[in-house]
């Protein structure tokens, strides 16, 4: 009965992965139609805030009525680095414990990536905290791992966490240089054993069960490199650059400062509209350039 359940679960997982792969275009279209308009709206609200704050700095001009803005400015947008491979089912869940990891015997495998290779070889002590990194092969694929306790890496020290993440990426880079093509896993993917099998066997079982899917992904990323990209939009910086580079806006600003308060109020409204228009155009341009 247990074996039948495992087979059914494996079939369901494979069907879900296949459905997600087939829906890639649908997901992309959903991002365009749903997410991007929301980001544009948030950016416009941020622009209103910044323009108002910037123009308040001029003491000669009475303040305009506050502009409505209910969304906190989006400080950054970009493509988050994602896993190319779904982790094996035997991955441990995140622990709530915080602190140093106690040294234990090998009861888990920390998984960096999957590469092309048919031999069990050592890459040296290049892993997180100086652990020896080696491969677990199945046919012409191999998992790049190190031995570890079956519990996640957790620390309150940001520098420690940063060093772990950098070490993880370094191993993936070295594996890429050695094997040519790799499928990276996310930081802190740890495989544990169960009652019937040890972590090594669980890793091989996963490679065997997902072999065809992994091979397809290998072909898809062959000859390509993965980059994490973040685009930072600081409305205040953009607004000041527009004022500095746009002659018409500079002219409006000078005229506003030379007028009495009553007339300056009207010029301030003109200046607000001009800056907002330029910033919205710039934001739309960036969205199109970066997303497409």
Name the pTM for this structure. 0.53
CA angle 238, 245, 256 (to 5 degrees): 90
- Per-residue pLDDT of 173-229, as tens digits, reads 999 999 989 999 999 999 988 878 889 999 999 999 999 999 999 999 888 777 777
| Residue 57: both structure tokens together | 């700095």
| Whole-Å CA distances, 190 to 44, 130, 146, 186, 223 | 43, 17, 9, 10, 27
| Whole-Å CA distances, 270 to 53, 55, 116, 254 | 15, 11, 62, 12
| Whether the Cβ atoms of residue 34 and residue 237 lie closer than 8 Å to each other | no
d(CA 273, CA 120): 65
- Per-residue pLDDT of 46-91, as tens digits, reads 666 666 666 665 544 444 333 332 223 333 222 223 345 656 655 5
| Whether the Cβ atoms of residue 217 and residue 84 lie closer than 8 Å to each other | yes
- For the chain, the domains span 14-80+242-291, 108-221
Higher pLDDT, 23 or 59: 23
Phi first, then psi: what are they for 40, rounded to 5°? -65, -40
Average pLDDT of the residues of the chain: 76
| Residue 259: both structure tokens together | 């007028």
Q: What 3-state DSSP class applies to 149?
A: coil
| Residue 169: both structure tokens together | 């990426």
User: Residue 257: CB partners within 8 Å, gap ≥ 6?
Assistant: 58, 60, 61, 264
CB contact burial 249-264 (16+ within 10 A = b; e otherwise): beebbeebeebeeeeb
Query: With pLDDT > 70 as the criterion, what percentage of the chain qualifies?
Result: 63
């Amino acid at each position: 009965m247990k074996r039948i359940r495992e087979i059914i679960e494996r079939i369901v997982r494979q069907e879900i992965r296949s459905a997600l792969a087939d829906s890639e275009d649908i997901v992309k279209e959903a991002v365009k139609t749903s997410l991007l308009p929301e980001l544009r709206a948030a950016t416009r609200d941020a622009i209103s805030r910044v323009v108002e704050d910037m123009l308040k700095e001029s003491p000669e001009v009475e303040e305009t009525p506050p502009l409505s803005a209910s969304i906190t400015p989006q400080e950054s947008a970009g493509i988050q680095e994602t896993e190319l491979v779904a982790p094996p089912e035997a991955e441990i869940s995140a622990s709530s414990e915080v602190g140093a990891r106690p040294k234990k015997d090998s009861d888990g495998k920390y998984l960096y990536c999957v590469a092309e290779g048919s031999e069990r070889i050592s890459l040296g002590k290049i892993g997180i905290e100086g652990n020896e990194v080696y491969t677990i092969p199945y046919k012409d694929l191999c998992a790049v791992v190190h031995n570890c306790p079956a519990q996640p890496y957790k620390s309150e020290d940001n520098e420690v966490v940063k060093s772990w993440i950098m070490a993880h990426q370094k191993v993936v880079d070295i594996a890429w240089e050695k094997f040519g093509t790799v499928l990276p896993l996310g930081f802190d993917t740890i495989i544990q054993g169960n009652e019937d099998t040890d972590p090594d066997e669980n890793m091989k079982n996963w490679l065997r069960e997902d072999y065809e899917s992994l091979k397809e992904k290998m072909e898809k990323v062959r000859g390509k490199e993965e980059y994490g990209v973040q685009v930072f939009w600081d409305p205040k910086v953009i607004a000041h650059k527009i004022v500095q580079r746009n002659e018409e806006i500079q002219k409006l600003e000078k005229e506003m400062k030379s007028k009495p308060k009553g007339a300056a109020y009207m010029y301030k409204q003109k200046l607000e509209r001009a800056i907002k228009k330029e910033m919205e155009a710039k934001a739309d341009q960036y969205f199109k350039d970066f997303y497409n």
